[in-house]
Each structure stands twice: as structure tokens, then as C-alpha cells.
Amino acid sequence: MSQSHRLAKGGLIDRSKPLSFTFDGKTYKGYAGDTLASALLANDVQLVARSFKYHRPRGILTAGSEEPNALVGLRAGARHEPNVRATVAELYDGLIAQSQNRWPSLAFDLGAVNSLLSPFFAAGFYYKTFMWPASFWEKVYEPLIRRAAGLGKPPVGDDPDIYEKAFAHCDLLVIGAGSAGLAAALAAARSGARVILADEGPMLGGRLLSDKRIIGNQSGLDWVKATEAELVSLPNVRIMPRTTIFGVYDHGVYGALERVNDHVATPPAHEPRQRAYRIYAKRAVLAAGAIERPHVFGNNDRPGVMLGSAMRTYINRYAVVPTKRVAIFTSSDEGYATAHDLIAAGASVQAIIDTRADATISAAHDIPHFKGAKILRTLGNKQVQSVEIELADGSTRILDCDGVAMSNGWNPAVHLTCHQGGRPVWDDKINAFLPGNLPAGLSVAGAAQGHFGLKDTLADGFRLGASAVDDLGFKAPAIAMPDTDPESLAHTPLWRVKTSKGKCFVDFQHDVTDTDIELANREGFRSVEHMKRYTTLGMATDQGKTSNISGLAILGEASGRSMAEVGTTIFRPPYTPVALGALAGHHVHKGFRPTRLTPSHQWAEEQGAVFMETGLWLRAQYFPKTKNESWLDAMIREVEITRSKVGVCDVSTLGKIDLQGKDVGTFLDRVYTGTFSTLPVGKVRYGLMMREDGFVQDDGTTARLSENRWLMTTTTAGAGKVMAHLEFCHQVLWPELDIAFTSVTEQWAQYSIAGPHARDVLKKLVDARHDISNEAFPYMACGAITICNGIPARLFRISFSGELAYEIGVPNRYGDALIRAIMKAGEEFGITPYGLEALSTMRIEKGHVAGGELNGQTTPRDLGLIKMVSQKKDCIGKHMSERPAMLYPDRPIFVGLKPKNPKSKLTGGAHFLDKGAKPSLENDLGHMMSVAYSPMLKSWIGLGIVKRGRERIGDTIRAVDFVRGTEFEVEICDPVFFDPQGERLRG
Amino acid sequence: MRIPCPFCGSRDSQEFSFLGQAGLKRPDPNAPDAQKQFHDYVHIRDNKAGVTKELWLHANGCRSWITVTRNTLTHEITGSEFASPLTKEAAQ
Amino acid sequence: MRYSVFSIVEQAFKGQKDWKPVWRYPEPKAEYDMLIIGGGGHGLATAYYLAKNHGYTNIAVIDKNYLGSGSVGRNTTIVRSNYQEPGNIPFYEHSLKLWEGLEQDFNYNAMMSQRGVLNLYHSDSQRDDYARRGNAMMMHGVRADLLNREQVHEIVPFMDFDNARFPIHGGLMQWRGGTARHDAVAWGFARGADSRGVDILQNTEAKQIRVENGKVTGVETSRGFIKAKKVGIVAAGNTTRIAETAGLRLPIESYVLQAFVSEAIKPLIPCVVTFGAGHFYISQSDKGGLVFGASLDYYTSYAARGNLPGVEDTIEEAMAIMPSISRVKLLRHWGGIMDMSMDGSPIIDKTGIDGLYINCGWCYGGFKATPASGYCLAHLMATDESHPVATALKLNRFETGYVIDEAGTGAQPNLH
């Protein structure tokens, strides 16, 4: 049977492009222009899903993004996407879809047993049970609940598609390209303003694609085409179909999702699947239309029950008649339009059941017409077979049909107006919520503002489009209002059929019924928010687009309050669900964050270096000589060679700040604990920097290159923080100081050359006119030099390793050449490159503080650096560093730690206990901050903080690492393990 | 959110970092009640619900510290200027 | 009425007709012994424990909105006690112990699910930091497990172990941590308090705390003046606004934090997972939604809504550890107001005004603290002594320097 429900002609599908697709493994045919839903209906597939809680059979309720029922899994493998609304999934050739939340099959779902148990599963039942015994929750109840819930399956593996982020700017953003949106865009565009017109669908036109209307002297469709053509011709207009404005953010920022390639099987090469935009709009017009309301009556969820407007969409736009013998259930004159279109499509209208006894409209043809009547329930199994109706006189009868078309008035799509906290306001005249407080710069046109008639939507659009851009100084030319064909929109909603039989669903997707809402009220959940949260009404993937208002009405009725008194919950972004991948864009995998490479990176790669992440940087961790050399062996070798001969290390990642001006000395005196104004030109000094709260934030060296030019270095991790801090200090605290500074971290490549032969190596590189002898260029000297025949460089005689050492800086572009030159020059001295492991070991041997110690919780006093804090002046943090707790004698103090057995592998993060002391917070003496195996001491060593540590040097305590299962006796010692007199670095 | 930078113009808030209340005066360490003053300076904030003046750094822009007038109830921004009075003067 | 299997069965046959309201809607009395400003989780818990542990019955909880309308119903529902600082560990562990018996205690299923909280680490130094934290916990008898890469892989095999920008090296696991159903916690405490006689006054806004001669006398509310012998401010993000009416200035700033939930999918994530190279946490609700969040939006706000940069950052972090959720869709995101303290840790203390108490500074982590927060504030209000597990949570610690700065980021609230 091929497309039994497809009309022979009409519709906006392209019959020249037949497409083939599968649903649950069965192959069907459709046409270009179909959605999955319209194609399924064309093939008379009515059962497409199972509900969340009761696993009830569900069909297709709507023809738009508000669909609560028809959620399917789309595509296969790594492209599988769960919970796709079949009503907006555009058909393409080869589309594969599966039904969800059923086992073993959609037609025979064992989960439907839940439906039989439904008397027990009232709203909130789980809050009242599953408590005994306590341990059963995780073991028994919860796994069962979790397995039963959850709808679609998660995708498996890496998404093969790519996503993009983009930005767009405009004077006016028009949201929705129905009659109001098109009119607004046209009016604004003719003024020359930059206009973006976005619509979630692939075609412009909105309801004009679904209802046959007349505008001026042409059909609604022709008017859409003409308007679109004009907009396309204007250079100041950008039309964005398949683009959902999903959120409204502060200051005219709109989140948008463009589905670039969801309508094809796979995106063309180099094209993204979707693109997430931030649209910056000076003004916006919301023309998102309205969503028709279903009725609440017995078994209203059975496949075949559909919104009337959706039925017209399927007929007129997709040339599909969803069901062929239809009962119209209406509280609105629009039900009659549905009847008209059904008959025009050759379907049979079994009856019009109008809930209004006083309806003035008459039914066309000879359709049975019942006023003041209701449908009590549908009958059937996986599709409606008949309905039981109650007539005005109270009598009931069974009416044969295979579908029901519901029209119960419309809800303006106010969702986006809530995103800035706006609360919709009930309007008794239209029986719906209207936008409340609007986001700045946004106005609402057409049906979204409760102006449902075509004439009104057009008038709204022209007026608001023009006024939005006039507001910005444009002059929008007047547009004459075209005539439109008459329409009848009278309605009196019926919120539920009280005499219903069977379950009456309010929220289809979450299986929330009218009695659930009554129960919530009975139990005191009277606030709309309480009711929503207790019953989960409106919390499904559709955010209650078709259910909220009926739910509120039933709550109001149960609690004796009007709709205005009950109020409404507000809608959150996104308007419709957005793929996480789209919001991440290219920031996935290695692209999650930038990777910063050091100047010697390429060279280090050539050497087979092993790299490690330090913040955004990749740094060489060690340089294995052979493939099998472990990090420990490599580190030991690198340290031994550096300490006995010479080694080189890339230290370019340290932050570098170039400071100039006559007040730099004064400035540094205020931001560093020590005094810098007295530093002579050509000298370097170590500096310690506190936060204003008295804790250390960073350390480094600052060199005075000339009278008014200084170069500060910071830690790698602290570079950005320190820069912002200094800028704060200058611009906010002391703007009167004559200084200027900028970060030059990435402008300079810098290498540390360390070891007894450091000077020998350097001599081969430094141009001969510079004297770098110990006398001419002593420890802590610095200066501008040239190397390798005139290349400008800076030389600093500073040492982190404790060896005779220099740091040499060159403009970044020479960084690669310099490392190669250093290695070449050092060859005869047996030079080795060393990585972070060796660097760290050598600084621990020397007791220098670094990352583990500068953790933001330590003071200069804690770190044994109180001598670095000048008592002669104020500086940032000085005052607060003298609070009582900071002077408390029991405070853990920085010390060295040596294991009794040198082979005991100390671990960072171990805590200290006295011998015999039981583990407790009171007995906790401190913790190990840094550890290393010291090739010099042939022992593991550590740095840490110990309560009263300085007074306890020589004591033996325990380093306990519960989480690694180790415990060692360690002796508290001075943190400087190697060359305590510092003779080597002055050599 | 869009932040009007007095140097660069209106920019996405993502380019900025936020520090907090503007107009706090770093105390004189020699004041007799310096201890209390420093405590308040470092820790106590108005945390006003309404219009505030606050410091932002145009970190991924011109690196100016700016004082932004913003309503913490609505996020509405009604002004911004350089935090440094000298820069402000020079700009005028 | 007591909830049990029997009551469920009975009501199933009675068409659910006999369930009673879980709380009353009382008129305010002229005077209470104890008045709690803030009907969120902490305020309701305070009232519950004042009634249950200390025998008070003449108590009111007032809230400007419906009960549970603030952060208790907006958070990412994580419960844990994996803290590092000695000032915090006993308090949060006390809280976790209360959680473990809470449902039986208040006869309401809050779906406390001890499925584990796993903090991923991505470098050697981070591993050592986590070891430090785990060992601090163990010092107090709180079990922590340091897992290596393979052990983590066994638990969350769908995460990115091959191509991540910040590779997963391992994790610190607290198996006793997990999640709970946030609304149910508020409702359970409210029901328990109400049944013990506590008046929960919803839609009753505190306008002005009245203080005479250094002593609190009551609160002006939107429903008139209510006398009270003792008043507790338990107002989370709105703490400073209320404290201001009593002339108090506090070391608190209010920031917006966003939270996120995806569409429901079948079970994927077995425990709570946090990303160590960012500030991201995720779990999966029983309904199937992925519930997650990350850092603050970084600016002070009372608007309870965030912006796109925060949204995108958060989702980038989600994708950084589990790119396989690329095609899962974000369903909703929303904001809440965080009472960020200057050291990132909470304050439960007297105020210097006789009879006025504060409970604030919960930063990102108020939900897990709910039972202990109420328990300890009740203890303080009833006895005028700090509960032994809350002695470090003093207001004056910023003067003395005894700060509890887990992150080491200093007096900059948006960095905690």
C-alpha cells in the first residue's frame, strides 16, 4: 500500500522528487517537502510513539515544533539523535527513524503494563514510598525507575558532524516569518534598515502555508512569494530559514540555531550540521504566532486525535489527509474551517461536536452538527475507532470515526517574552495569556500578541516593523493595508470534559492527567509552580506548549480561582531543544581550549620529548633518550647532567611584563612585599606578591633594564591574573603614577641555561663585545646584549635550579633558532635539554616555592619568606597578612621532609601525623605540597607545611596517604636540601 | 550582555572580566582604625539590588578598567567610564 | 498522614481521594518564639529541627513567594561531603549523615541516591591536590577513593579518554555522595515542620527587621508586623537585602548561577561527575535528563537569569569530557541567585544584634548542606551556642583571618 492518505494533487510538496525512508525498519515513500510526520501519515502510520510513564500508544498531535507525542530516534550509529519531533524533521531520501521507549516493539510494548498499574502511579506517588528499607533505593527501586524513564537512547561514539558558532548584527530582528513577521520585515526593510528575518521552518509563510487565504488581489501563498522575492532582492535583508530564535538574553542578544544540514542525510564536506548564532539586534519583533489548544477528554491521547489546525496543515501543505473519517471536536469557529478543508480533500466529516450551545456558525453540507455537545472519550486500540459523545440533552451515543480534530482556541507563543523574567498576563477577552513585561527593544506582533485574524497580523506587522526602525532613526515608508478574505474566529474554550470516561491527558508527553492536577491541589500544591513540579506538567521536552493552559485551568477550577489568580509558570530558554554540540561549536576535543606552544616546541618534538599540559601550555615534561626510558630515569639523567655539566630548559611560559615610566620603582614597592625602588640598573631582584587579603598570589623576578624600564616575570599560571591585578593597581588605585606596562609573554622566547658549563656555552653565543665573566656579570645581573652576530637579546643571571645559570631572552621569532644554537654550542660540554620534571626536582632540592606552595592559602610567613616583606613600607596585602590567624603559632609552616628510608616514595597530598597519633582533624599537622626523587641526595624528598614546623626541625613524623595506601616516617628538615650556602650559583 | 567600553564601544560581555563594587577607597594603613577599614575594604560590599557602579576589565580588548553603571535587578546598563580619572580626563 | 506502601495501595483503590494537604495555609499569629525569614530548604529545615530537636512549636517560616521557590528548586541536586578544609569537613559530613537518614526521618522520599561523586583530575598536580583533599576527609573518617585512569574508565567508559584537550588521568570518588530530588527536600521538611505545628507563611515578604535597643523585636511583613523573640535570616541570595534592614553589612555578594537540563534519555551517567580542567558537574536524573552546571556568570545579579557566554562555556565543558552527547539536546536553562561569601564557605552565626541570627554564604553548595544548615542554625537559635560541627562558620573570621578558603582564590567571590 503506497501513500494511501496522499491527495492526488495540491500541497507544497515536490512530486517530482519521490523519497524513500524507513520507520522501525519498514520502508515507505514520501516526497521532497514532507516532514517525517506528514510522510508517515501519508502512509497511514498512526502509531509512532509510546508515552513516558504509561507507555501508551501515541500518534501525531500537531504539525509543528510544539509536538508532545511524535518523538522518534532519527538516523543511526553515531549520527543517532534521540527525541526528534517527527513533525519538524524534514524528509530526505534514505531517512531512518525508530520509535522510542518501547520494548520489544512499538505495537507490542511490555511497558504498557504501567498503564494497568496507573491507579498506584498518581502524581507524586514516588515521594510517598520506596523508602523502606533505605538501602533499596539505589539497589532496587531507582534502577527500575531509571530504566523505565528516559525516552530515547543516548548516542554512542563521536558525532561525525561539525558545528559552528557565528555572530550576526542587525537593526531589526524579526522572529517568525508568518504573515505578521513578513509584514514587519517588509516595512522595516523598505527603510533601508538592516533586517534579519528568521523562521524555524524551511519555508516562509507560517499559517499561510496551511490555510488557503486571500491577501489583496492574490492568494496568501502568492503574497508570501512576492514578499519574499522583494526581501531577497534587498541587500539590507538577510533571511534565515530553518533558524530558531531559542533565547532572549540581555541587551538585545538573541540566541539562534540554524539547522544548516538537518534536511539532508549527511552534511556536505566542510559544512556544519548546525550553526549557533548570537544575534545582536537593536530592535526585535516577535511574530512567533500561536499554538492551538487540545481538548481534555477521555483517552484524548489515542492515535488519530489531532489538532484541527494541524489537520489543515497536513491537507493543504502536505497534501495528506491524516485520517479519513473525522469527528470535529470544537469550541471555536475554526473547527468548521477544518471540516471544510477535510471535505474538500475528500474525507468524511462524521460530525461536528461543538461544545458551545450558542454557536452561531452553521455547518456546511449535511454534516451532523451537535451544539453544546462533548466527546466523552475515544474508543479503539492503537487508533481511534469511534468516540462516545454526550449531546446537549445529556444523552450519549457512539460515533464511528478514525480521527478527531480538536479546536479549542489558540495560545499566543509568548515564550520568548518570558526569557527576561516577563510574566504573561491573562486576558479574558481572548481566553489566553498575553505577553507581560517585554525584554527591552522587543515588541510583539500578530497572533503572538493575541491578534489572531489575518488582517490584524498584517496590520501589526506593518506597524511594528516600521515603528521599530523609525525608533532607530530610519524612515519606513507607509504601506497600504491589503484586504483579506473574511474569517470567523469566535471561540469559548472548554478546559476539560468533566463527564469524561477514561484517562484525560493534559500533558501528553509526561502523562499528566486532570486527576493528577486535582490530586496536587488536594495535597496543597496550589501554587502553579508547586503543581508543575509535583505533577511534572509542562516539564517534558515540549515545555508544555500544548498543555500548560489546560492544566492551569483545571488547577483554577479545583481550587476555586480564576485563571488570572492562578497565574502561569514562565517559560525558560531554549524555545525548542538545542543540540549540545551546536552550543559547543568547534570547542570540542583538542579544540576545547586553545593550545599554547612554546618557541622550542617543534624542536622538542623532534627530540622525542614527552609533553604535558600546564594550563593552556604544552610543555616538555622530559626528553627520553630511548623509547623505554621512564620519566624517572630521564629526569635523573637530566638533573645529573645539568648539575655536573650543563642543561637547557624553555622557560618562555613564565609571564613577562614590560614596565616603563619614572614611577615604576614606587609602583613595584607597593605591589611587591620587598623594596624595588632601590634596585640598581642592570640588576634583578626576587619579588613576592600578595593579594590584598594577605595571602601570597605570585612570585617572580623583576629586572631593571634601564632607569625607567623594568621587566617583571610571573609564574606561568599567574601570568594573566598578575597582569590584571597590576592594571587594577595602576588604573584604579594609583592612576597618578607615571607608568605604563604591557604583557610581553609571547614576544620573548626565554631559555634557562644552567650548570657549571653554562657560561662556557653562553660565551659561544654572546657577541664578543659583551663581557659575561663572573666579575662583569655577577649573580643577579641583567642586561641587553646581542648574540650570534647582532641578534638582540636579554641576559639575566638568575637561577631556579641552584646552579650557575642564566636566562637568555630573544624575540620570539628567534626562539627556535636559539634552542638549536644553544644545543649546538653546548654539544662539546655534554649539554642536555631538561623538562619540567627535572626543573621541578631541582627547585625542590633547592627548597624554592612554586605551584604547590603558592596555592592561595599561604602567607609569606607560612612559606618562611617573612624576610621578603619589608617592614619599612606598606604594600598590597601587608595589613591583612597580620591578622591574628596569620600569626597564630600553630599555623602550618613550610619545611623540608626527608623519609627515614630514602626509597620511601613520598606523595604529594599526604597528610602529617605525629607518631602514635590517631587520624583526626585535630591531630592533622599539615600536608605534603611537592615531592621529588632527588638524584643529588639519592632519596625521595618533599616540601610541605607542618604545624610549628620550624620549631620541630629534626623531629620525625608520619606522612600518611590514606587514598594511596602509603605511610612513611619522615624527618622535618630545612627546605633547602642541596647547596644550602648557594655557592654553586655564584660560581 | 553588551558592555559599552568607553574606548572600544559596545562589546560582548564575554570580552570583559568582572571585579565588583567600584569606588572603594584603599585605606590608609596608618589610620587608627586601619584594621577595621581594611576588613571592610576587602570583605564588605553593598551588594545592592538596583543601580550599582562596578568595575569591569576589558580583558580581551583595550585592557581598560572601566566603571559601569548597571542595575543588578534588570541588568540594564546606563553608563560606563574609564576607572582612571586621568584617562577619563584625557579622553574628554 | 503517614506515607507507606499501605497508604499508597489504599488510596489507589479509593481513587486518591483521601490524601491530605501536605501543609496548611495558616494566618500569621501576632507573635512567635522563632521566626525564620526564608522558606527555602535551609529555612524549612531550620524550623523542622527547631521543632523536632528543641521542642519549639511556636515558629513561623515566612517566604515572599511559594515555599521552595528559590535555590532549593533550581540547583543541580548534588549531595556530597568531599571537602578539604578542617572548618568545612565536619559540617558537611554531618550533613551527609543527616541525608542518609532523612527520608525515614521525615517520612518523605527525597530520592536520595548515593550513586557516587567523581571528581576527575587531569594532571599530576591536580591528582596531588585531590589526594590532599581525600586525605583530609579520611582524617575525619570520611571515605574517599583516589582512582586511576583505568578505574575511572570502568565507571564512565563513554567519556573521552582518547582525544581530550585535557586528558582524564583519574579521579577522586566519594561513593557516599550522590543526588537527591531537590523539590522533595523542601516539601519533606515543610511537611515535617507543618505537622509539628510550624506556621509556613507563603507569599509573606519580609520588609523590615525591627530592632529596639540592640534587640530584635519582630519583622514587618507584607502581611503586617509579626512579633518574634528570635529571628533567623535564611534568605540565600537575598540575605544582604534583608540584613540591611537591620543595619547589617555582610561579606556577601549575590551572583547568578545557571543550571541546565537536557531532554530525557535512557540511563547513561551512573554517578555525579565533575570536570577538573574547568568547573563543570553533571549527573542524570531519574527521569533521564542530564542535569549540569558550571561556573557563575561572574557578575552580581538579582535577576536570576544568565547569559549566553555562560551557557556556551558550560556546554563546551560538557562536551570536553563527553563529546558523545553532542546530539542530545538542551531542554532548559535557568538561573538562581547565589549568596557568595568572601572565602567561599558559609556563615552560621549570631549577628551582634540580640536575637538575630544569620545563615548565608552558601555559594554554589547550599543544597547538600540543607539538613546540617537547618540543624546547626536551629541549635544556635535554641541554645545561643554554635553546634560543634559549625564552630568555624563564624562571621568574624574575616577579621581574625580564620578564613575557610577551599579554592585559595581569596576575597573575590566570583572566583570561588
Mean per-residue pLDDT pooled into runs of 10, chain A (987 residues): 90 98 98 98 97 93 97 95 97 97 86 80 84 81 81 90 98 98 98 98 98 97 98 98 98 98 97 98 98 98 98 98 98 97 97 96 88 98 97 97 98 97 95 96 98 97 98 96 94 96 95 96 95 94 93 96 92 97 97 97 98 96 96 98 98 98 98 98 98 97 98 97 98 97 98 98 97 97 97 97 97 98 98 98 97 95 96 96 95 98 98 98 98 98 97 98 98 97 90
Tell me whether B25 touches chain A (CB under 8 Å): no
Residue A593: helix, strand or coil by DSSP? coil
Facing residue for B38 by CB, picked from A280, A730, A879: A879
**With contacts defined as CB-CB under 8 Å, which chain B residues touch A874?**
29
Whole-number CA gyration radius for chain A: 38
What proportions of chain C, in percent to the nearest 5, are helix, strand and coil? 30, 30, 40
- Whether residue B65 and residue A278 make contact (CB cut-off 8 A), yes or no, is no
Tell me whether C309 touches chain B (CB under 8 Å): yes
> What's the confidence (pLDDT) of residue A558?
95
Q: Among residues A662, A600, C84, A396, which one has the least CA distance to residue A387?
A: A396
Helices (H), A69-124: 113-116
C195 vs C107: CA distance, rounded Å = 11
Whole-number CA gyration radius for chain B: 15
CB A273 within 8 A of CB A267: yes
Convert A370-409 to b/e letters by CB count within 10 Å (16 or more is b): bbebbbbbbbbebbbbbbbbbeeeeeeeebebbbbbbbbb
- Whether residue C165 and residue A593 make contact (CB cut-off 8 A), yes or no, is yes
A151 vs C332: CA distance, rounded Å = 17
**Per the omega criterion (within 30 degrees of 0), is the bond before A104 cis?**
yes
> What's the confidence (pLDDT) of residue B90?
87
Tell me whether B42 touches chain C (CB under 8 Å): yes
Chain C closest CA to A553's CA: distance in Å?
Answer: 19
- Whether residue B20 and residue C300 make contact (CB cut-off 8 A), yes or no, is yes
**With contacts defined as CB-CB under 8 Å, which chain B residues touch C253?**
20, 45, 47
Q: Among residues C133, B56, C276, which one has the least CA distance to residue A911?
A: C133
Q: Specify the CATH number for the domain of residue B65.
A: 3.30.2270.10
For C329-364, the three-class secondary structure string (H helix, E strand, C coil) is EEEEEEEEEEEEECCCCCEEEECCCECEEEEECCCC
C-alpha cell belonging to residue B3: 558592555
Q: Is residue B36 part of a domain?
A: no
C44, C83, C88, C139: which to substitute to probe chain A, counting the most A Cβ within 10 Å?
A: C139
> What's the confidence (pLDDT) of residue A777?
97
Cα nearest neighbour of C132 on chain A: A909
Instruction: State the total domains in chain B.
Output: 1
> What's the confidence (pLDDT) of residue C13?
87
- Whether residue C301 and residue B75 make contact (CB cut-off 8 A), yes or no, is yes
Tell me whether C314 touches chain B (CB under 8 Å): no
C299, C312, C400: which to substitute to probe chain B, counting the most B Cβ within 10 Å?
A: C299
- CB proximity list for A621: less than 8 A, separation 6 or greater: A609, A610, A611, A612, A631, A835, A836, A837
pLDDT (tens digit, 9 = 90+) per residue, B22-53?
999 999 999 999 999 999 999 999 999 999 99
> What's the confidence (pLDDT) of residue A468?
98
Q: Is residue B35 part of a domain?
A: no
- CB proximity list for A910: less than 8 A, separation 6 or greater: A927, A928, A959, A960, A961, A964, A966, C131, C132, C135
- Whether residue C342 and residue B19 make contact (CB cut-off 8 A), yes or no, is no
> What's the confidence (pLDDT) of residue A178?
98
**With contacts defined as CB-CB under 8 Å, which chain A residues touch C333?**
572-574
> What's the confidence (pLDDT) of residue A831?
98
Q: How many CA atoms lie within 13 A of C163 on its CB side?
A: 12
Q: Is C257 left (phi over 0), alpha (psi -120 to 50) or beta?
A: beta
- Whether residue C241 and residue B49 make contact (CB cut-off 8 A), yes or no, is yes
CB A582 within 8 A of CB A429: no
> What's the confidence (pLDDT) of residue A786?
98
C-alpha distances in angstroms, A106 versus A24, A25, A26, A176?
8, 12, 13, 35
**With contacts defined as CB-CB under 8 Å, which chain C residues touch B47?**
240-241, 250, 252-254, 300
C-alpha distances in angstroms, A471 versus A282, A283, A417, A467, A476?
10, 9, 20, 6, 10
**Per the omega criterion (within 30 degrees of 0), is the bond before A980 cis?**
no
A791 vs A815: CA distance, rounded Å = 11
C306 vs C298: CA distance, rounded Å = 10
> Domain span at residue B60?
2-23+49-91
Residues 310-339 of C with CB under 8 A from A: 311-312, 315-320, 323-334
Cα-flanking dihedrals φ and ψ of residue A877, to 5°? 95, -15
Amino acid at C189: F
- Whether residue C249 and residue B17 make contact (CB cut-off 8 A), yes or no, is no
**With contacts defined as CB-CB under 8 Å, which chain A residues touch B31?**
none
- Cα dihedral: B30, B35, B41, B43 (round 10): 160
Q: Is residue B32 part of a domain?
A: no
C-alpha distances in angstroms, C22 versus C47, C62, C107, C196?
16, 17, 12, 12
- Whether residue A577 and residue C331 make contact (CB cut-off 8 A), yes or no, is yes
Q: Is residue B63 part of a domain?
A: yes
Q: What is the mean pLDDT of chain B?
A: 96
C37 vs A390: CA distance, rounded Å = 52
**Chain A, chain C: beta-carbon pairs less than 8 Å apart:** 360
A604 vs A623: CA distance, rounded Å = 8
Cα nearest neighbour of C399 on chain B: B39
> What's the confidence (pLDDT) of residue A142?
84
Cα-flanking dihedrals φ and ψ of residue C306, to 5°? -115, -165
Tell me whether B75 touches chain A (CB under 8 Å): yes
**Chain A, chain B: beta-carbon pairs less than 8 Å apart:** 59
Convert C385-395 to b/e letters by CB count within 10 Å (16 or more is b): ebbebbebbbb
Q: Is residue B73 part of a domain?
A: yes
Facing residue for C139 by CB, picked from A80, A880, A920: A920
CB C137 within 8 A of CB C130: no
**With contacts defined as CB-CB under 8 Å, which chain C residues touch B35?**
399
Chain C neighbors (3+ CB pairs < 8 Å): A, B
CB A833 within 8 A of CB A648: yes
- Whether residue C307 and residue B13 make contact (CB cut-off 8 A), yes or no, is yes
**Angle ∠(A168,A173,A176) on CA atoms, nearest 5:** 120
> What's the confidence (pLDDT) of residue A586?
96
ipTM of the complex in this document: 0.99
Q: Is residue B31 part of a domain?
A: no
With cut-offs at 50, 70 and 90, classify the pLDDT of residue C146.
Answer: very high
**With contacts defined as CB-CB under 8 Å, which chain C residues touch B43?**
251, 342, 398, 411
A200 vs C165: CA distance, rounded Å = 34
Q: What secondary structure letter does DSSP report for A552? A: H
> What's the confidence (pLDDT) of residue A776?
97
Q: Is residue B30 part of a domain?
A: no
- Whether residue C307 and residue B18 make contact (CB cut-off 8 A), yes or no, is no
Mean pLDDT of B73-89: 95
**Helix or strand (DSSP H, E) at A759:** helix A758-765
Residues 2-21 of B with CB under 8 A from A: 2, 12, 17, 19
Amino acid at C101: G
CB C76 within 8 A of CB C292: yes
A141 vs A120: CA distance, rounded Å = 15
**With contacts defined as CB-CB under 8 Å, which chain A residues touch C139?**
911, 919-921, 923-924, 962
Angle between helices C41-54 and C366-383 (to 10 degrees): 40
Q: Is residue B34 part of a domain?
A: no
A849 vs C250: CA distance, rounded Å = 35
- Whether residue B59 and residue A732 make contact (CB cut-off 8 A), yes or no, is no
B43, B52, B69: which to substitute to probe chain C, counting the most C Cβ within 10 Å?
A: B43
> What's the confidence (pLDDT) of residue C300?
97
- Whether residue A529 and residue C69 make contact (CB cut-off 8 A), yes or no, is yes
pLDDT (tens digit, 9 = 90+) per residue, C170-189?
999 999 999 999 999 999 99
Cα-flanking dihedrals φ and ψ of residue A434, to 5°? -110, 160
C-alpha cell belonging to residue A859: 602567607
C-alpha distances in angstroms, A557 versus A116, A564, A696, C195, C404?
28, 12, 63, 27, 52
Q: Among residues A126, A34, A672, which one has the least CA distance to residue A320?
A: A34
> What's the confidence (pLDDT) of residue A537?
94
> What's the confidence (pLDDT) of residue A880?
96
Q: Among residues C259, C385, C227, C390, which one has the least CA distance to residue C331?
A: C259
Mean pLDDT of C5-27: 89
> What's the confidence (pLDDT) of residue C257?
97
